[in-house]
A = this chain, B = another copy of it.
């Protein structure tokens, strides 16, 4: 939703939006939105507590269609998680790349994070990674690898932020960008957990503000 809007100037319209005239009966669902619904369910209830019937009802697809489109339950879970990470990354990457003062960048990142964790009709939905890490990462190596990847990716992004800020003189010389990055990630994690326990947004914002203060003044 962020960069893909830029279409190649040549061959303007015959690209993705127009169906390429598939051969058989047309599907009654859109894979993208169906995956979004599945994602919401998995995020709310976790892997084990989400049944195929639930998924079928939420997506509007019956079970055989689910299988045909996404594979079995575990594959659907993994695809949902990938989708979640793609969305989250897309929402944050511009801020991480932007050339703004440290404090402003942090504040914008955390605002996005809060938006992600607190949105949803039936209560806050929290963070898929925390859910996943908590539930499946121990036993499932593939999921664990994704979780690890997500964790280090966030650490790295924050790390670049702080290193950049230090080079610009926004941080004292003694500041350690790596440690600050871990603290910034930790703040993401604590917010995700607290959001799950329905801590109201105001309190979460206060926690964020305090953390940002410490991280920006850090010697």
Contact = CB atoms under 8 A, between A and B. Distances in A.
Nearest to A123: B138
A181 to B, nearest CB: 9
Contacts of A144: 197-198
A47 to B, nearest CB: 8
Nearest to A215: B214
A36 interface: no
A40 to B, nearest CB: 12
Contacts of A186: 183, 186-187, 189-190, 211
Q: How many copies does the complex hold?
A: 2
A137 B197 contact: yes
Interface string A134-158: 1101110000100110010000000
Interface stretch (A9-17, A24-32, A124-132): A124-132
Interface of A: 44-49, 123-126, 129-131, 133-135, 137-139, 144, 147-148, 151, 174, 176, 178-180, 182-183, 185-187, 189-190, 193-194, 196-199, 207, 210-211, 213-215, 217-219
